[in-house]
Structure 1
Amino acid sequence: MTRTLSARIPSAFRASTRATALLPAALLMVGLAACNPKQAAAPPPPPVPEVGFVKVEPQAIPYLRDLPGRVAPMRIAEVRSRVSGLVVKRLFEQGSQVKEGDILYKIDAAPYEVELASAEAALARQEAALVLARQQADRLEQLLSRATASQAQYDAAYAAKKQAEAEVAGAKATRDRAQLNLGWTDVRAPITGRIGRALLTEGTLIEPGSTGALATIQQLDPIYVDITQSVGELNRLRRDLASGELARLEDNTANVHLIMDDNSLYPLAGRLLFSDVTADPSTGQVTLRVQFPNPHDELFPGMYVRARIKQGIDSDAIAVPQQAIQRTDDGRAEVWVVRADETVMRQPVEVGPVVGQNWLIRSGLKAGERVVVDGFQKITVGAKVKPLDQTPVHGETGPKHDADEAPDAPGDPGSGDKAEAARRAAAVQPRH
C-alpha cells in the first residue's frame, strides 16, 4: 500500500510538470493562428505615379540669332581750326549736345581784322584805277572813230582797262579770303552731335596742320551697331532659306533688337542696313551694320551689346521644354513619351538649336505625341503613369543657338534662373 502510494505521487508530479511545459507551446500556437495570412488584411498596391507632359504641336518659330556687336557713331568729326592764332575762349560745355554751326572756340581775330581792312583798301585802289582805265579807253575809241587817234593808242588804252579789271578781280579775291580767315576765327561745329572733352584750353597757340583736334563730335542719334557673324552660319542660313527649311520674312527685312550688358532688352528696334562683302581673313567673320534710334543717348560708342536678329521663320517646327531632354551615358538625347495605354517609354531624338527655354527637335518626335516634362524620378520603362496635361509651348520663345555652340554671352532675357536650373538638372537626370 505504501509502495503503491509512493509510486503514484511521482506519476502525478510528472503529469503536472508536462502540463506546465506544454502551456507556452499552446499559447504560441494560438498566436500563430491569430497571425494566419488568410485572416490578416493585404497591403494596398503602390499608387500610380503622376507625370506632367506637353503635347507636341508644330508651330512657326522665328529664326533668331544672338550675335556680338559694338556700338559705333553714325558720324564722327574732329573739331579743327582752319587758321592759326591764340585760343581766347571756349564756348561749349564738355559732353553736351551741339548743333552744326555752333561756335565752339574763338581765336584772336585782331590780325585777321587788319588783313581784311588792308584787302578792302587794296580793292578800293584797284577799283579807282579801273574807272580811270575805262574812261581812257572810251575816249580813245571815240577819237579813233574820227581818225584823230591811232589804233596803237587805242589798243594800249584797251589793254590797260582789261588789266585794271583783272587787278580788281584779284583784289576782290584777296578781300574774300581775308573775310573767310576772319570768319574762321570762330571755330564752329562741323556736325550735330555730342561733343567730348576739350583737348585744348584758352591761351593755346594753334597752327593748322601741326595742332591736333580741339575736340571730337559724335552723332549718336541714330547710331550704328556693327555685329559679326561667321561665314559658315551665313552660308547655312542661305541654304536653309533656299531649300525652304526656313521661310523668308514677309517684308524681306530683318528687325534687330539689342540685349544690353545687364541682359535687359533695348526698347527700340533697329534696321539691318547691309552685310559686308568681305570676310575678315583672321576670324572668318563678316560684319553686319544695324541702325538704331537713340533719342535718349542710352547707347554709347564702344559699348558691347548682343544683337538679336530675326533672319527667317521655321514654319513647321517642333520644340519641347529643355527639361524634357534627357541624356544617355554616351551623350545622346532622348525623351520620355506617354503612350496610348498610359505607359511610358524612352524615345531617342535629334535636337537642333536652343529656342529660348526649349529645344528644337529635328527628328524623333511627331505631332500629337505626349512628352514628359515632370516626374522623371518616379517612372521606369513600361511603367503605368497618370499623365497630367501642362501648358504647351507656343509663340516666339527666344533666340536660336546651335546645339554644339555656346551663346555669345551668358544669359537670355527669355530664360529665368529657375528654368535654367531645371534644364541642368534634367540634363544629368539618372536613367531608371
Structure 2
Amino acid sequence: MLSLLSKPARQLTVAFAITAATVTGLTFYQGGARAQTEAGTPPPPTVMVTQLEQQQIRTWASFSGRLAPVASAQIKPLVGGTIQQVNFHDGQQVERGQALFLIDPRPHQAALARAEAQLTAAQSRLALARHELERARQLLTDKLISQSLFDAARNEAQIAEAAVAEAQASSLQAELNLEYAHISAPVSGRISRAELTVGNVVEAGPNAPILASIVANDRLYAEFDVDEQTFIHFVRATEDPQTMPVELTLASDKSVIYEGKLHAFDNRLNTETGTIRARAIFENIDGALTTGMFAEVRLGAPQLSQALIVPERAIGTNQNKKFVLVVDADNTARYREVNLGKQWRGQRIIDGGLNAGDRVIVGGLSHVRPDTPVTPQPAAPANSVAASL
C-alpha cells in the first residue's frame, strides 16, 4: 500500500508510526515502573497504642516477713505436786480460763486449813491484847500502875496485831497455792501437746518444767524490715502510720490476700542493715495462718497520688537508658527517653519523659523503628484502676 502513496505521504506515515510506537513503549515502561514501585513499598506497620492519662494510684512497697503470735504463753507449774489431770487434747483450741492441768490439791488444802487456824488464833490473841491495853490505860489514868506497865501492855497489843497480819498473809499465800494447783489457760489459742502427763511430779521455781504452750491464732503479727528511704517517705506522708494499708500473701500460696493494718515501727534503726523493724497485724480469716510462716508483706502509701503509668512491655533498654516509642500527630514513631519510678500492679510509674496525652506504643514494637510511619490502633483497656487501689 505504501508503494501507491506519494513519497511525502510515505514519509509522514512512517514518522507517525515511529512516534506512536515510541509513545506506546514509554507508556508501557512508566506503567511497569509505577507498578513495581507500588509493589515494593509495604504499608506502615500497625501498632497498638495507649494514650496516657493521669491516674490516681496508691504506691506499694514489698517486703519479706515472718508471722508471729499476738499472744502466746508457756504453761509452767507455780506449785509443786503430782499431776492428777490433763484436761485437753494435743493441738486443741482452748479458751482463756479453761482448765488444763490439775496438780494434787490436797497438800495445799491442808496448808490453807493450817494457815486459817493460825489466823484465828492470832486474832484471838489480838483481841485479848487489846482488852488488856484498855485496862492498863484505865489503871494508868487512876494512877494505879506505872507508865512502864502500860507501855508493856501496848507493846503486847502491837505484837498481836503484827501476828494477825502475818497469819493473814500466810492464809492468802496458801489460798493462792491451792488456786495455782488448778492450772487454766491464760490466753485463748491453740495448745501444744502435754509435755508431762498424769502421775508425773513437778516442782515450782526457776527450773520448773514447761507443761505445754499456747499460741493465739485468731490474729497474728507479720514482722518485716523496712528500708530507711521507704520509712522516711511513708512516715512523712501521714501523721498516723497506722492508717497505712497493709496486704499479706503467703509465700507458698498467693491466691488469698489478707488485709491488715500497720501496728507499729520499732524505736530505732538497725545500723548494720539500714532497716527498721515493723509490725503489721492481720486477722486469721480462714485459719490458715500459723506462727513462723514466711510471707510477703506489701505496705501501701497512706494517700493516693497522681501518676502516669505504662505497661512494662512498652519499655525498652538502650545501654543504661530506658525509652519508649510514642506516636506523634503525623503517625510517626518517635524515640522518647524516660525516667522510671516504682512498679505498680505489673506496670511502671513514669517519673519523667512523658506527658498526659502521649500515645505510647505497647504492641507491635518488633516491626517499628524510630522516625518511621506507623498505623496506630488503640490497645485493649487495662483493668480498672479503682479495682487495684
**TM-score using structure 2 length:** 0.79
| Counterpart residue number, 1:213 | 210
* DSSP-derived class of the 2:257 partner: coil
Q: How far apart, in 2, do the equivalents of 1:141 and 1:315 lie?
A: 86
Q: Deviations over 1:165-218 (max 9, x none)?
A: 332332222222211111111112223333223222222221122223222223
* DSSP-derived class of the 1:223 partner: strand
| Counterpart residue number, 1:77 | 73
**Shift in CA distance, 113/39, structure 1 to aligned 2, threshold 3 Å:** closer
**Shift in CA distance, 117/374, structure 1 to aligned 2, threshold 3 Å:** same
| Counterpart residue number, 2:114 | 118
Deviation at 1:148, TM superposition (A): 5.4
Q: How far apart, in 2, do the equivalents of 1:398 and 1:66 lie?
A: 16
User: Which among 100, 104, 111 is matched to residue 108 of structure 1?
Assistant: 104
Mapping of residues 364-403 of structure 1, within 5 Å: 364-393=353-382, 395=385
Mapping of residues 32-431 of structure 1, within 5 Å: 42=35, 45=39, 46-143=42-139, 152-208=148-204, 209-235=206-232, 237=233, 248=237, 253-261=243-251, 262-267=253-258, 269-311=259-301, 315-328=305-318, 330-393=319-382, 395=385
**Shift in CA distance, 312/120, structure 1 to aligned 2, threshold 3 Å:** closer
* DSSP-derived class of the 2:278 partner: strand
Q: How far apart, in 2, do the equivalents of 1:355 and 1:161 lie?
A: 82
* Bigger Cα displacement from structure 2, 126-135 vs 384-393: 126-135
Q: Which runs of 5+ in 2 are unaligned?
A: 1-24
Deviation at 1:136, TM superposition (A): 3.9
| Native 8 Å contact 1:256 1:271 kept in 2 | yes
| Native 8 Å contact 1:332 1:348 kept in 2 | yes
Q: Deviations over 1:224-258 (max 9, x none)?
A: 211211224434x26xx97xxxxx46976211111
Report the count of equivalent residues: 355
Q: Give, as a single letter, the amino acid of the residue that structure 2 aligns with 1:387.
A: P
**Shift in CA distance, 115/392, structure 1 to aligned 2, threshold 3 Å:** same
| Native 8 Å contact 1:50 1:385 kept in 2 | yes
Q: How far apart, in 2, do the equivalents of 1:335 and 1:178 lie?
A: 81
**Shift in CA distance, 151/358, structure 1 to aligned 2, threshold 3 Å:** closer
Q: Deviations over 1:302-330 (max 9, x none)?
A: 111111111255733221111111223x2
Deviation at 1:372, TM superposition (A): 1.0
| Native 8 Å contact 2:68 2:292 kept in 1 | yes
**Shift in CA distance, 361/159, structure 1 to aligned 2, threshold 3 Å:** closer
Deviation at 1:367, TM superposition (A): 1.8
Q: Give, as a single letter, the amino acid of the residue that structure 2 aligns with 1:264.
A: S
* Bigger Cα displacement from structure 2, 181-190 vs 116-125: 116-125
Q: Deviations over 1:273-321 (max 9, x none)?
A: 3222322233221111212233543322211111111125573322111
Q: How far apart, in 2, do the equivalents of 1:344 and 1:87 lie?
A: 83
Q: Give, as a single letter, the amino acid of the residue that structure 2 aligns with 1:342.
A: N
| Native 8 Å contact 1:64 1:398 kept in 2 | no
Q: Give, as a single letter, the amino acid of the residue that structure 1 aligns with 2:374.
A: V
Identity of aligned residues (%): 32
* DSSP-derived class of the 2:58 partner: strand
* DSSP-derived class of the 1:95 partner: coil
Q: Give, as a single letter, the amino acid of the residue that structure 2 aligns with 1:321.
A: P
| Native 8 Å contact 2:47 2:375 kept in 1 | yes
Deviation at 1:395, TM superposition (A): 2.2
Q: How far apart, in 1, do the equivalents of 2:332 and 2:154 lie?
A: 116
**TM-score using structure 1 length:** 0.72
Q: Deviations over 1:37-88 (max 9, x none)?
A: 6787946643443211001222222221111121111222221111111111
